[in-house]
Amino acid sequence: MHLLVCGGAGYVGSHVARVLDARGHRVTVLDNLSTGHAEAVRWGRLVEADILDVDSLEAAFHGQRFDAVLHFCARSLVGESVSAPYDYYENNVVGTLNLLRVMRRHAVDRIVFSSTAAVFGNPVAALIDEDHPKAPINPYGASKLMVERMLADAAHAYGLRSVCLRYFNAAGASAEDGIGESHKPETHLIPNLLRALINPAAPLKVFGQDYPTPDGTCVRDYVHVLDLADAHVRALDHMDGAPGAHAFNLGNGTGFSVMQVIRAAERVTGLPVPFEPAPRRAGDPPVLVAASQRARDILGWSPVYTGIEDVLRTAWDWHRAPAF
């Protein structure tokens, strides 16, 4: 298949491009390089275009025949979404609507959409499955849920086939392929923790010590970015026999607290993690853990990196010598 990977210069998108290429697909990456890295586009051609610029999107589709689109372009910082909601609704909702309209004009009728655990808001169950209530608590999660709704409506109206993949905490890297996690600013736990190891003068801040969890720090479900990538390939295959709009939660189903991640990183690296307590970060739910049985049953998805140490080892390989 010839696949358009929108946002393919970013963290998850670049790993998906790598796996699609390895499975024999032809990849074209569309990215505005606002947060992505040209160095991460190592599989397929890079088209610089912006989902908020319809002319640039039209130009990217002109003369091409894409079999499907995988869509990763998004603003994705929870805290920033609270202070700048218009930017989030514009980029994530209006930008996606632009992309869907251009796809329709060019008769591309399949999309895999990068969604998030943030569509659920504060969990009301220990394990979050697809039927869990969707009540986002920040504009980021709300913007992703709006797109999920658009895709469901487009399935009815236009016959668009879609799969929404709701990632829990994407983590890890593929250092041997020269790709890994590199955000500016970096807000995620594992990169910040590994940077603190490399530069002990800037200790990791542990946000909140009084959550209702066994050690008082937040619990998350860390899922390897290559396992996420594998789910995208399966989602593409799934659409062959499944018209309509579908959604799957992707996580390992096991939660680790911030302190457990710190201790696991110390075991993996053999180095002490310098850290200090800090106040709670706004918008952080205490516990987010996925129930991914639907992805296992229907997509045949089975994550390879099931232990937190496996995930951390690959992230450490990248952070010791990042290529960008």
Per rule CB under 6 A, count of chain residues that contact ligand UFG? 22
Contact 115, 165 (CB under 8 A): yes
Tokens representing residue 54 in the block? 């319809």
Contact 93, 146 (CB under 8 A): yes
Region binding ligand UFG by CB under 6 A among candidate stretches 12-20, 49-57, 62-70, 116-124 = 116-124
Q: Which residue has the tokens 């160095």?
A: 39
* C-alpha torsion angle, residues 27, 32, 35, 38 (rounded to 10): 50
258 touches ligand UFG (CB under 6 A): yes
Q: Among 188, 263, 294, 296, which residue sits at the site for ligand UFG (rule: CB under 6 A)?
A: 188
Q: Among 149, 267, 281, 320, which residue sits at the site for ligand UFG (rule: CB under 6 A)?
A: 281
Q: Burial of 135 by CB count in 10 Å (0-12 exposed, 13-18 middle, 19+ buried)? A: middle
Q: Among 114, 116, 143, 174, which residue sits at the site for ligand UFG (rule: CB under 6 A)?
A: 116
Region binding ligand UFG by CB under 6 A among candidate stretches 101-109, 172-180, 201-209, 232-240 = 201-209
Task: State the minimum distance, in angstroms, from the CB of residue 106 to ligand UFG.
Answer: 29
Q: Burial of 33 by CB count in 10 Å (0-12 exposed, 13-18 middle, 19+ buried)? A: middle
Task: State the minimum distance, in angstroms, from the CB of residue 63 to ligand UFG.
Answer: 35
Task: State the minimum distance, in angstroms, from the CB of residue 53 to ligand UFG.
Answer: 25
Annotated catalytic residue within 89, 140, 167, 222: 140
Instruction: Indicate if 305 belongs to the active site.
Output: no
Catalytic residues: 140
Which chain residues interact with ligand UFG by CB under 6 A?
76, 78, 116-118, 140, 169, 187-189, 192, 204-207, 218, 220, 258, 281, 284-285, 288
